[in-house]
Each structure stands twice: as C-alpha cells, then as structure tokens.
Amino acid sequence: MQFSVYQQSQIGGRKVNQDRMGYSFTREALLLVLADGMGGHVRGEVAATIMLQTMSTLFQQQATPYVKKPERFLEEAFLAGHHAIHRYRTVHALPETPRTTVVACLIQHNTAIWAHCGDSRLYWMRRGQILGRTRDHSHIEHLIERGLAAPSERATHPDRNKLYNCIGAASLPRIEVGRQARLLPGDVVLLCSDGLWGSVSDADITHRLATQTIVRAIPELVETAVSVAGPGGDNTTALAIMWQGSLEESSAPGVTVISTEMLPDNLVSTTIGAAAEPAASGDAANEIDAFNDDEIEKAIAEIRGAIERSNQILK
C-alpha cells in the first residue's frame, strides 16, 4: 500500500478551532477521519476529539493488518463515538451533550469505503472529475432532494447550516455508509469541513487537486477559503491523500510517499493523539485528557453488546 498524504487546519475567525483530523494505518489498511465540533453546543472540540480517539482505538484493535468487515467497522465506530460523548457529558455533568459532525474513510486492498454524519464531506476524484461525494445531512439538501430548492441555493439558502444529523445528539445518529470504490493510481480522496467547501466551489477544488500535488493544493484551498470567508469565517480543515498504487508507480516530485509494504502485521501508525490535535482553550484541554482509554473501551464494549443483542433478535 502506497500513498501520499497532506493535512492542514486554520482557525479562521473563531476563538477556538473545533475541527479535528488524523489518519492511522497498518501494512494493509488506512483510516482517514475528520470531525467538525458543532459550535452551537458546549465543547464541540471535545466531541470531535473523542470521535477521533474512539475510531483510532477501534482501528488499532481490528486492523490486523486489515479490517475484516469494513462497513460494520465504520458503523460500530460511529456509534461507539456517539456513546462515548454521552458518557463524557455524564461524567462531567454538562448541561447538554457536545456534538460533532464526522466523515471517515477506510482504504484497504485498493478499495475505499466511507461513512459520514452531518456536513463534513468526502470527495473522491480522478483526473479532475468527482466520482463520488457525500451528501450533506442538512435541511437545504433535504429541500433540494424534494424539489423545493435549487442546487444553486446550497451556498446562499438561509437554512444551509441547519443539520438534522450528527454525533452526540439525543437520538442515535443516522450513519450513511457509501459504496465501495476501487482506487486507481493518481486518485485523490479529500476529507474537509464545511469551512472549506462552504467558501470554495467544487469546480475549484477539483481543478486545483487535478493540476497540483496535494502538498500545494491543500494549503492554497485552505488559504482561499479563509480569505473568502473573512473575519467571521469558520474553522477550515482538509485532509487529502493521493493513491499511488504499487511500489512500481512513481510519485510527483516533492511529494512524500508513505509505503507500508514492509510494516509488521501488528504495527499501527497514527497521527491521532494529543500531539496531533489543534490546541483547545481553557479547561477543555484538561477535560479531554480526563476522558481516558478505559472509558472509551467501556463505551465500545457497551455498543458491541447492544449490536450483538440486536442481531440475535433479528435472527
């Protein structure tokens, strides 16, 4: 498995960066995750952090060296993150539960599969064409689907920021799992928060990623989005990979390529951890540390038990 990767986040006009991103990989599997903490609720940055940490923990447990049931993995990981966030609220006696959107992509055996909740997006691109893109769980997308609004209203409609699905709400999240996508050398997979796609058009995103390496395109896209949004702009975050294929495939000059061919079966490398996260402010940073691996493990065990009970009832 060989790929190049680049990620960047800017705080924009906000006081706190509530976006989180990261990736983990073994010899045969790669997990990309991006979460956008919801600013209308308390401690969105904590919800986003817990989401990434939970997914990373599950990946490290199950990718040996690849995940046997990728669709189920994504569904379980999202539900585990949801329950872990609710446990965090209980432990810290918060007036409401922190919430976050999330998009994640699991790549193994040259095949990508992704899932999302909310309006953090994934784009799958090849030679300047969008082959796949997540559909936002927003009110404007619902109106467009029913023919009550035009696609051109996505960037201007007054309800464009209203979401009907996220991680951490009172009800269980609706987890939308995409179809499996066969990757070819040169394909680009981009995960981004609404701070990016809300200010930069799909056409601009695809053009830049088709004509430049991700190392140049991602910083330019983030800078453009922050500039267009202005002083009141949102956090803007992007994580992208370019799939390289086998070791025989050459990479573009100046691009760092990660090759996993020689990794041991039991080794997991990850950027998801305290050092890889944008700094939280005030007491929130201490609160994140207080939610430890044991609590995440307990939440994961609880949701696994609930899923197994549901499967037995269906049988």
Residue of 195, 202, 183 lying closest to 128 (CA atoms) = 202
Cα Rg of the chain (Å, integer): 19
Residue of 128, 125, 127 lying closest to 105 (CA atoms) = 125
Q: Which residues of 224-262 are buried (b: 16+ CB within 10 A; e: fewer)?
A: bbbeebeeebbbbbbbbbbbbbeeeeebeeeeeebebee
Q: Answer whether residue 106 shows pLDDT above 60.
A: yes
7 in helix, strand or coil? strand
> If you average pLDDT over residues 33-57, what whole number do you get?
93
CB atoms inside a 10 Å sphere around CB 283? 11
| Burial class, 170, CB count within 10 angstroms (exposed 0-12 / middle 13-18 / buried 19+) | exposed
Q: Answer whether residue 11 shows pLDDT above 90.
A: yes
Beta strands in 165-289 (DSSP E): 176-177, 181-182, 188-192, 236-243, 257-259, 269-270
Q: Which residues contact 90 (CB under 8 A, 6 or more apart)?
A: none
Lowest mean pLDDT among 1-5, 96-100, 141-145, 213-217: 141-145
Bigger pLDDT: 255 or 65? 65
Average pLDDT, rounded, for the chain: 84
Residue 23 and residue 191 in contact, taking contact as beta carbons nearer than 8 Å: no
Say which amino acid occupies 270: T
Q: Which residues of 91-107 are buried (b: 16+ CB within 10 A; e: fewer)?
A: eeeeeebbbbbbbbbbb
**Angstrom distance (rounded) from CA 126 to CA 133:** 12
> If you average pLDDT over residues 84-98, what whole number do you get?
95
CATH class, 2-314 region: alpha beta
CB atoms inside a 10 Å sphere around CB 14? 16
**Angstrom distance (rounded) from CA 51 to CA 46:** 9
Q: Length of the chain, please? A: 315
Give the whole-number percent of the chain exceeding pLDDT 70. 79
Q: Answer whether residue 204 shows pLDDT above 80.
A: yes
DSSP 77-146: HHHHHHHHHHHHHHHHT-SS---EEEEEEEEETTEEEEEEESS-EEEEEETTEEEEEPPP-BHHHHHHHT
Q: What is the per-residue pLDDT for 287?
A: 36
Q: Please report where in the chains the tokens 């390289």 appear, as a residue.
A: 244
Q: Answer whether residue 280 shows pLDDT above 50.
A: no
Bigger pLDDT: 276 or 178? 178
**Angstrom distance (rounded) from CA 25 to CA 108:** 10
Q: What is the per-residue pLDDT for 224?
A: 97
Q: What is the pLDDT of residues 52-87, one digit of tens each?
A: 999 999 999 999 999 999 999 999 999 999 999 999
174 in helix, strand or coil? coil
Q: What is the pLDDT of residues 163-177, one digit of tens each?
A: 889 999 999 999 999
Bigger pLDDT: 274 or 107? 107
**Angstrom distance (rounded) from CA 52 to CA 141:** 26
Say which amino acid occupies 106: L
Q: What is the per-residue pLDDT for 296?
A: 46
Q: What is the per-residue pLDDT for 96?
A: 93
What does the domain layout of the chain look like in residue ranges?
Answer: 2-314
DSSP state letter for 43: T
Say which amino acid occupies 131: L
Say which amino acid occupies 295: E
